[in-house]
Structure 1
């Protein structure tokens, strides 16, 4: 690494902790103040640093622009892959990653179960929103009016005896998802499968994907499935953190 680049990165790292004086930065770099001043002027010209007053410097707007662009360019599927694999190893069951497209769930990645009894699914497959754990998670955190409009325009095909079959029931279910931080599918999409899903958020706190664990009932009862909910949430939160979500932010943002 070149000396100038190394010094520039040292300055930016120091300013990330808060404003600094020229004297403080020169001492941190181990150089004369005139050398530090030349470096700061270069960084200031590129908006990487801004002068707060005569004596103090802060990080500049260019860094925030770059950080924002980097977060926007992150690929959810690429970031999530290691968390899907880890959750699959911990649980031994099928893990899905899904997004919302044209009012349907689309599975964009999958880790297969370690058990001989498996569910059929594939990357690219579509599924209804109202009867899948990932579908519920993907819309549960929308503003109230947006949730209601969406619920009222859905069709509610009755796929099993447990399938939600009305907008009011679906909205009530979404309220439960928001309250508990995860969603379940109790044999609503396929009779012999139940699932638990959790939201993945981007740096703005928006739910951009959902992660779920799908288990045949013959392998695990519903209480056993709920016992894995925290593992699912931790995996989803790990992906969210990689995408820039701050865990101290509220899980749900109401408008």
Structure 2
């Protein structure tokens, strides 16, 4: 029996390692600005080219990845997009947030995002566009950092210090604009301020000329369910942000939390 248990544990470990490699390559394809080549994927993943060839071949066979018409470059496949679409459509949080997000977009007239944490990043699971011609360039599925985005900082500000430290440990801080906070002490001070005031700010830290306010959706059990942001082109930013953006944003987060609470859905 002990031998069988050891064999099962070894098989699980091998399967987990193989799956992790598949997911790493799939994530690189998803995150690439342009459809990557095998050489690019091998360089970015650190895996040998034959390994990457096998992984990409298996992903193509399952419809999760497709090869470009010219050949040699790879992009996400229709099956993966279908799975993602079904996930978003059936998301309890996305469904519960629909009315509040629409009201927030309508009252602010700016782009609104709903985001959840995914590993050491935040990912947008819903976006409502501003009716204005000039607006933020983003899409559902966009991943943003915890330390430079308003949704990321809002999320971090709800965590206990030990949990925050564990999540930020090992993250290589990248400067996206001259305003990006890349010093840990400065970020901790910023997050403490976010916690006190109940919302976060992205002051052109993730993208130049874009100012964002973010706030967390905190459930009745104290767990952070997700975060909502309002993104504003700097030239259009109101001189009364508390009334124009922040109060409606916090109201929306409270409304979503209530919809997610047992007995209110």
- Settle same-fold status: TM greater than 0.5: yes
Out of 104, 114, 120, the residue aligned to residue 97 of structure 1 is 114
Partner of 2:139: 122
Unaligned runs of 5+ in 2: 1-89
Post-superposition offset of 1:151: 2.9
Q: For residues 142-181 of structure 1, what are the structure 2 equivalents within 5 Å?
A: 142-181=159-198
Q: For residues 58-207 of structure 1, what are the structure 2 equivalents within 5 Å?
A: 75-207=92-224
Post-superposition offset of 1:147: 1.3
1:150, 1:173 → 2: CA distance? 16
2:102, 2:185 → 1: CA distance? 36
Contact 1:147–1:171 (Cα < 8 Å) also in 2: no
**Partner SS for 1:153:** coil
- Going from structure 1 to structure 2, the CA distance change for 1:147 and 1:215 (only over 3 Å counts) comes to same
2:230, 2:182 → 1: CA distance? 23
Unaligned runs of 5+ in 1: 1-72, 246-255
What TM-score comes out, normalization by structure 1 length? Answer: 0.64
What is the number of equivalent residue pairs in this alignment?
173
1:119, 1:74 → 2: CA distance? 24
Runs of 4+ in 1 over 4 A off after TM superposition: none
Contact 1:201–1:207 (Cα < 8 Å) also in 2: yes
Q: Which has the higher helix share?
A: 2
1:166, 1:87 → 2: CA distance? 33
Contact 2:149–2:206 (Cα < 8 Å) also in 1: yes
Superposed CA RMSD: 1.8
**Partner SS for 1:185:** strand
Post-superposition offset of 1:133: 0.5
Post-superposition offset of 1:225: 3.4
1:157, 1:224 → 2: CA distance? 31
Rg larger for: 1
- Whether 1:225 aligns to 2:225 is no
